[in-house]
């Protein structure tokens, strides 16, 4: 990949998109293109067409999505399926019609069946039913994967899908109504510590197992896909290691310095029992994560503290 190739990063202000932007800049790529949601509404087909016609990117990295945790997915199912399909369909279809040869689509491990064998292999896609709490988002992402696969099959273009495990890191979302489990826990423990080490109540039983990947490692995986022509249409991206939600909570509690009680509210849903990714395909090609979980959580907490003022506006 030429360092002066025009690369459009959709969602470049988000946690993943900004990490990709930083990583590409550090590697010497000079013609990165981005547009904020105020500048370009990716749900608007004509706006996307006009933007592509004006910018003429050679590569598109789709890191744009409407995202959220169990609560947000449960409360806004229509927005999660429709807006995500609008975003990715507009990008993928316009890319194809504009002659874009390389497209990297980012999805989520929730595309795999709820009770699929562990670890999750790429071939388990569409073999059973999804987790009900986030099936709307998952179905949207599955259509994106399949659209890119269809383009590879029919038009022989280098359109590839990367399915990350649970991502976290700097520039994460710490809004307790819409954030994922790790940043939500981090904020809860921090604020409880600041309030005199009051107890922290967490959803579920603490027994489900989850895998977490630092966002800078995800960015490196995207660069790997950018600089190499991957032979298949779908790749898992993760660490290959998981831990219980209880272990995660205890790790975050230690790093934030909270010394109070943890209360588990078992009346709240746990979600999928386990979601460990089989990442052997990416490992075989030569990519592997670098940042271990405790190091990544410490980096994330450091960033959270540096940007604490922006989160104080949204109360618990």
Q: pLDDT tens for residues 225-252?
A: 999 999 999 999 999 999 999 999 999 9
Q: pLDDT tens for residues 17-72?
A: 999 999 999 999 999 999 999 999 999 999 999 999 999 999 999 999 987 767 77
How far apart (Å, rounded) are the C-alpha atoms in residues 232 and 222? 15
Q: What is the model's pLDDT at position 313?
A: 57
Mutual orientation of helices 181-194 and 245-256 as an angle, nearest 10°? 40
Q: pLDDT tens for residues 78-136?
A: 999 999 999 999 999 999 999 999 999 999 998 999 889 999 999 999 999 998 888 99
Task: Give, as one character, the DSSP assignment of residue 235.
Answer: E
Q: pLDDT tens for residues 31-44?
A: 999 999 999 999 99
Query: Model pTM?
Result: 0.92
Annotated binding site: 11-17, 106-109, 141, 164-167, 180, 188, 203, 210, 270
**Active-site residue identified among 8, 137, 168, 233:** 137
8 is catalytic: no
Band of pLDDT at residue 316, cut at 50, 70 and 90: very low
List of domains in the chain: 7-310 (3.40.50.720)
Task: Give, as one character, the DSSP assignment of residue 267.
Answer: T
Band of pLDDT at residue 290, cut at 50, 70 and 90: very high
Q: What is the bridge-based pairing of β-strands 32-33 and 7-10?
A: parallel
For 122-145, the DSSP string reads GGGTTSSPPPGGGHHHHHHHHHHH
User: Counting beta carbons within 10 angstroms of the beta carbon of residue 2, is it exposed (0 to 12), middle (13 to 18) or buried (19 or more)?
Assistant: exposed
Give the residue-averaged pLDDT of 170-174: 92
| Contact criterion met (CB below 8 Å) for 133 and 269 | yes
How far apart (Å, rounded) are the C-alpha atoms in residues 168 and 198? 25
Q: Cis peptide before 119, with omega less than 30 degrees from 0?
A: yes
Annotated binding site for substrate: 188, 203, 210, 270
Annotated binding site for NADP(+): 11-17, 106-109, 141, 164-167, 180
What are the tokens at 141? 């992402």
How far apart (Å, rounded) are the C-alpha atoms in residues 165 and 144? 17
Residue keyed to tokens 């005199």? 196
Long-range Cβ contacts of 263-269 (<8 Å, 24+ apart): 263/199, 263/200, 263/201, 263/202, 264/201, 264/202, 264/204, 264/205, 264/206, 265/201, 265/202, 265/203, 265/204, 266/204, 266/205, 268/203, 268/204, 269/70, 269/133, 269/203, 269/204
- Region at 197 (left for phi over 0; alpha for psi -120 to 50; beta for the rest): left
């Amino acid at each position: 990949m030429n360092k002066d190739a025009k690369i459009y990063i959709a969602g470049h202000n988000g946690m993943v998109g900004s990490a990709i932007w930083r990583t590409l800049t550090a590697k010497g790529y000079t013609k990165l293109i981005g547009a904020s949601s105020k500048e370009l509404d990716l749900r608007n087909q004509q706006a996307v067409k006009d933007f592509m016609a004006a910018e003429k990117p050679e590569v598109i990295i789709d890191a744009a999505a409407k995202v959220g945790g169990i609560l947000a997915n449960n409360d806004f199912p229509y927005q999660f399926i429709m807006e995500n399909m609008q975003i990715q369909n507009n990008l993928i279809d316009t890319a194809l019609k504009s002659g874009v040869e390389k497209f990297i689509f980012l999805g989520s491990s929730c595309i795999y069946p709820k009770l699929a064998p562990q670890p999750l292999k790429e071939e388990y896609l569409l073999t059973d039913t999804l987790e009900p709490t986030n099936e709307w988002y998952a179905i949207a992402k599955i259509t994106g994967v399949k659209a890119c696969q269809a383009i590879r099959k029919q038009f022989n273009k280098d359109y590839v899908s990367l399915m990350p495990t649970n991502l976290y890191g700097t520039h994460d979302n710490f809004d307790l109504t819409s954030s994922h489990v790790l940043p939500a826990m981090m904020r809860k423990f921090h604020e409880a510590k600041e309030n005199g080490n009051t107890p922290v109540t967490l959803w579920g039983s603490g027994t489900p197992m989850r895998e977490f990947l630092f966002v800078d490692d995800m960015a490196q995986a995207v660069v790997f896909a950018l600089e190499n022509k991957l032979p298949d249409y779908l790749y898992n991206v993760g660490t290959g290691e998981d831990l219980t939600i209880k272990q995660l909570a205890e790790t975050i509690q230690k790093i934030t310095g909270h010394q109070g009680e943890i209360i588990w509210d078992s009346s709240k849903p746990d979600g999928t029992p386990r979601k460990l990714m089989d990442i052997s395909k990416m490992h075989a090609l030569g990519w592997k994560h670098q940042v271990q979980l405790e190091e990544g959580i410490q980096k994330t907490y450091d960033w959270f503290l540096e940007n604490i003022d922006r989160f104080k506006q949204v109360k618990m």
